């Protein structure tokens, strides 16, 4: 349950945050150059750091500073680590979806009197999000599995409980049980991804026939 809780909290934060980051990175014009640069630095930095290293840095490093105004919960910092890492990955998925929308769509929105921001909100982003749902789900399957990394902080999640039980009984069956639990969670997401890919393929083929 702790792994599922962490996954749901992280996912709820990552989805909107990554979309904002992708939109900021796609802003055109020299006035937005500093914002684009910051977005690029964020993505490059957090995509380059191993997830387990960031979990260790934040989970052990920040509480050791002893600052009263900072949270000391390992759960908080483990979730923050996953959010920081996966926001960078998911923003790139969003950005690929935004760039896959034909420029004529934005031009049509501008011809109707919509501003650039309105065109993104009502025309480009809805189409982009619909196209990238399958790869988004693949990223969240990876996120669900990476919640097991919090065990390095001593948090009692599925993997850490398996460690405790295995050490107490000198039996590796608890690891098998933990593996089954993760598989039981990820298989429905995998099947949902396959269904959405198939539906999107059928929709495009139907659109091609109609044309």
- Segment 95-125, tens digit of pLDDT: 888 888 887 887 787 777 777 777 877 888 8
Confidence grade of residue 10 (pLDDT, cut at 50, 70, 90): very high
Who has greater pLDDT, 204 or 161?
161
Residues 6+ apart with CB under 8 A from 47: 85, 88, 89, 92
Task: Enter the tokens of residue 84.
Answer: 């920081």
Highest mean pLDDT among 71-75, 89-93, 187-191, 198-202: 89-93
Q: How far apart are CA 190 and CA 23, in angstroms?
A: 27
> For the ranges 73-77, 112-116, 129-133, 180-184, which has the lowest average pLDDT?
112-116
Task: Enter the tokens of residue 138.
Answer: 């693949």
- Segment 145-198, tens digit of pLDDT: 888 888 887 777 778 788 788 878 787 888 888 888 888 888 887 787 778 777
- Tell me, what DSSP letter sits at residue 120? I
0.85 exceeded by pTM:
no
What value does the mean pLDDT take over residues 25-41? 85
CATH architecture of 2-150: Orthogonal Bundle (1.10)
- Segment 80-89, tens digit of pLDDT: 999 999 999 9
Q: Determine how many CB atoms are found less than 10 A away from the CB of residue 147.
A: 24
């Amino acid at each position: 349950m702790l792994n599922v809780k962490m996954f749901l909290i992280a996912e709820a934060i990552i989805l909107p945050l990554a979309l904002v980051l992708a939109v900021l990175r796609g802003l055109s014009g020299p006035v937005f150059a500093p914002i684009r640069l910051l977005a690029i630095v964020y993505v490059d930095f957090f995509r380059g750091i191993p997830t387990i290293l960031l979990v260790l840095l934040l989970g052990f490093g920040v509480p050791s500073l002893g600052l009263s105004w900072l949270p000391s919960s390992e759960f908080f910092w483990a979730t923050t680590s996953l959010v920081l890492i996966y926001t960078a990955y998911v923003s790139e998925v969003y950005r690929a979806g935004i760039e896959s929308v034909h420029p004529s769509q934005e031009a049509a929105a501008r011809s109707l009197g919509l501003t650039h921001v309105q065109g993104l909100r009502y025309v480009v982003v809805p189409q982009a999000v619909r196209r990238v749902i399958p790869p988004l789900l693949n990223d969240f399957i990876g996120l669900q599995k990476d919640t097991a990394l919090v065990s390095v902080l001593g948090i009692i999640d599925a993997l850490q409980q398996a460690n405790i039980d295995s050490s107490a009984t000198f039996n590796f069956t608890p690891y098998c049980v933990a593996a089954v639990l993760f598989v039981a969670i990820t298989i429905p997401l995998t099947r949902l991804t396959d269904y959405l890919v198939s539906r999107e393929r059928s929709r495009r083929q139907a659109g091609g026939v109609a044309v």
